[in-house]
A and B are shown apart, each in its own frame.
Chain A
Amino acid sequence: MSKFQFPESIKSRPVYGTLAPRPGKAHLMIADAEGAEAILELAGQQPDLMAKSHIIYIPKDTGETYTSKLKALKPAQYYEGPSYEASVQRLRHVLANAHQGLQVYLTGTEGLMGQAQNEAMQAGIPHSSIQTEHRGSVARRMQCVHCKGITEDVMHDPFQCAHCGLHLFVRDHYSRRLAAYQGVRVDAEDHGNIPDPVELYS
């Protein structure tokens, strides 16, 4: 099962919903890994949505698991990318040429949804009308508040910043602009006193 019930948290923490078809002139669906399942369910609710849909899919470690099923939905356009970074050029191009009436559906990991939402917001879509549904890994995209470097797919707390090497505490404090959670030095007051890393939500 690819669904995970996140515990209640502070207001800053994003809350994800369940994708539902909405009226629109065009539909842009962006998913990574198990997010494919949410797209398959969305298409099941309203199959004719697919004729006006563009799917951007990043399989990550799911490989071929979902790709043929997604193609079988016969979306108007289907693109598969090796990573979010590799797909972002296409995403920007799609948004730059889009018009009002575009519905955006994001599903998969928090890092993907946050970054794609940020692109959509910069293109002029209010975040309140972008749908999201979390699926798959609960890993987080973290920003080190000290060096500002981003560490992707963080699964443990504390973790070591991929840039400056500090050991960072994983906070629920989130930035929509950065599409990242805040990581703060865990041994700021007592240097070297670093707790053992624990897997998130364990």
Chain B
Amino acid sequence: MSAAPQKAKPGAEQIPVTVSAVVPLNELVTRFEFKRTDGQAFPTFSGGAHTVVTMNDDGRTRLNPYSLMSDPSDTSMYAISVRRDDNGRGGSLFMHTRVKVGDQMTITYPVHLFSLDLRARKHLFFAGGIGITPFMAMIAQLERMNGNWELHYSVRTEALGSYVDELRYKFPNKVHVYYDDQNQAIPLEDLLDGQPLGANAYVCGPKGMIDWVHATAEAAGWPDAQVHSEEFLAPAPGKPFEVRLCKSDMTVQVGENESLLEAIERAGVEAPFLCRGGACGQCETDVVAYDGDFIHRDHWLDEEQHADGSKIMPCVSRFVGKSLELDR
């Protein structure tokens, strides 16, 4: 018996919510809190889970993943924190400029791709900027279990240090903050040295930081399975291209500022997805034929699959060339 809800539609099950609070934290980051519109309790989740928020931007549907950052055992509300990206595709700007308390929105059930390993003797968190969000929920979860953790949090300036004050006040001995503008850096090599066997490291932040943590841990002999990371990619804009969907028997134009997945959805074709950020593997699609070059940007397919042109992750990857035909 599976407890998972039977899925009729692609993506995780949806929950209608009402925006209950909009809290600007600093110049770039705002927290959004949601209550269930039907008054019921939210499902509990595990720290590190995310939700996909549906935004109705004047008829254009935007679906963006955000880490849930509220206490996982608090079923009365969910919270996300959104960093405004003025040069992004518009999802974060929509959240910052258009979403008001009382608005009705739709979010998905929690989706989990970045979990705590509860066998760990100790949890080391490395956060960069807005990468703090999954750790807020993980910390709340571990505190209830008397978990052994420490946080190393790198922020650009004091003014942009989201949740620094709160974290330092609650956990003065466990939270370490590093300010870029004061030339402070996480002393990663030293921190990884001398940790107990069975310690786990987690990193969430910019790609460079994630790669740095993985490479440094590997060089220090850490087991690969004990270094966890999460990076959501936003689909990058690119040259428009045409795609033929052979099962649906239609041809779709992919615009400069939309992803292949969004174009497929716009055409009314139901395609599976979960994270929409190149991480979960749910939208993996077989390529039937192509003449041109793929721009693979996902973390899911391996290098061989990227090279042989047999599959594409339409949520973040694109195509440049004459023709592309997908099994969708």
Q: Does B170 contact A (CB under 8 A)?
A: no
Decide: B221 and A124 in contact? CB cutoff 8 A: no
Q: B90 an interface residue at 8 Å Cβ cutoff?
A: no
In the assembled complex, A44 has its CB within 8 A of some CB on chain B: no
Give Cα A128–Cα B225 distance, bound, in whole angstroms. 8
CA distance A125 to B223 in the complex (A): 7
Asked, given contacts A101-B192, A124-B121, whether A23 binds B221 with beta carbons under 8 Å apart, the answer is yes
Q: A23-B218, A23-B219 are in contact. Are A124 and B225 (CB under 8 A)?
A: no
Instruction: For residue B121, give the distance in angstroms from its CB to the closest CB of chain A.
Output: 5
Instruction: Determine if B198 is an interface residue (Cβ-Cβ < 8 Å).
Output: yes
Interface check A197, CB cutoff 8 A: no
Q: Which A residues from 137 to 173 make CB contacts under 8 A with B? A: none
B194 in the interface (beta carbon within 8 A): yes
- Residue B197, interface by CB 8 Å: yes
Interface size class of A (residues with CB under 8 A): 10 to 19
CB distance from B186 to the nearest CB of A (A): 16
Choose one: A23, A124, A126; the contact of B196 (CB below 8 Å): A124
Is B286 an interface residue when CB atoms closer than 8 A count as contact? no
Instruction: Return chain A residues, CB-CB under 8 Å to B194.
Output: 99-100
Q: How far is the CB of A127 from chain B (nearest CB, A)?
A: 9
In the complex, which residues of chain A have a beta carbon less than 8 angstroms from the beta carbon of B196?
99-100, 124
* A22-B197 in contact given A100-B192, A101-B192, A126-B226 (Cβ < 8 Å): no
Interface string of B97-126 (1 = CB under 8 A from A): 000000000000000000000011100000
**Cα distance A35–B225 when bound, in Å?**
27
Which residues in window 47-95 of B have CB below 8 A to A? none
Residues of A within 8 A of B195 (CB): 99-100
| B199 is an interface residue with CB less than 8 A from chain A | yes
Measured CB to CB, the nearest residue on chain A to B124 is: A100
B 200-242 to A, binary, CB cutoff 8 A, 1 in contact else 0: 0000000000000000001111111110000000000000000
- Is B165 at the interface (CB under 8 A from chain A)? no
For A22, give the chain B residue with the smallest CB separation. Answer: B221
Q: Which residues of B contact A101 (CB under 8 A)?
A: 192-193, 220-222
Q: Digitize A96-122: 1 where CB-to-B-CB distance is under 8 Å, 0 elsewhere.
A: 001111110000000000000000000
**In angstroms, how far is the closest chain A Cβ from the Cβ of B240?**
43
Distance in Å from the Cβ of A55 to the closest Cβ of chain B? 18
Closest beta carbon of chain B to A94's beta carbon, Å: 10
**A123 at interface (Cβ–Cβ under 8 A)?**
yes
- Taking a contact as CB atoms closer than 8 A, the residue among A25, A95, A98, A129 that contacts B223 in the complex is A129
A47 at the interface (CB under 8 A from B): no
Are B197 and A126 in contact, CB atoms less than 8 angstroms apart?
Answer: no
- A24 beta carbon closer than 8 Å to chain B: yes
Q: Is the CB of B198 within 8 A of A125?
A: yes
Closest A residue, CB atoms, query B121: A124
**A96 → B minimal CB distance (Å):** 9
The CA of A150 and the CA of B193, in the complex, are separated in Å by 39
B116 nearest CB across to chain A (Å): 15
In the complex, which residues 7-57 of chain A have their Cβ closer than 8 Å to any Cβ of chain B? 22-25
Neighbouring A residues of B224 by C-beta, 8 Å: 128-129
The chain B residue with its CB closest to the CB of A27 is B221
Chain B residues with Cβ below 8 Å from A98 are 197
Residues of B within 8 A of A22 (CB): 221
Tell me the smallest distance from the CB of A97 to a CB of chain B, in Å.
9
In angstroms, Cα B241 to Cα A124, docked, is 49
Contact A100 B119 (CB under 8 A): no
* A101–B120 alpha-carbon span in the complex (Å): 15
Q: Which residues of B contact A128 (CB under 8 A)?
A: 223-225
Q: Which residues of A lie under 8 Å from residue B199 when comparing CB positions? A: 100, 124
CB contacts (< 8 Å) of A102 on chain B: these are 197, 221
Q: A87: shortest Cβ distance to chain B, in Å?
A: 19
Please give, as numbers and ranges, the residues of chain A lying within 8 Å of B221 by CB-CB distance.
22-25, 100-103
Could you give 22 example pairs across A and B, Cβ below 8 Å? A22-B221, A23-B218, A24-B220, A95-B197, A99-B193, A99-B195, A99-B196, A100-B192, A100-B195, A100-B197, A100-B220, A100-B222, A101-B193, A101-B220, A102-B197, A103-B221, A123-B198, A124-B119, A124-B121, A125-B223, A126-B225, A129-B225
The 7 closest A-B pairs by CB, nearest first: A124-B198, A24-B221, A129-B223, A101-B221, A124-B197, A126-B225, A100-B195
Q: Apart from A98-B197, A99-B195, A100-B220, what 13 extra A-B contacts exist at CB < 8 Å?
A: A22-B221, A23-B221, A24-B220, A25-B220, A99-B193, A99-B196, A100-B194, A100-B221, A101-B193, A101-B222, A124-B120, A124-B199, A125-B197
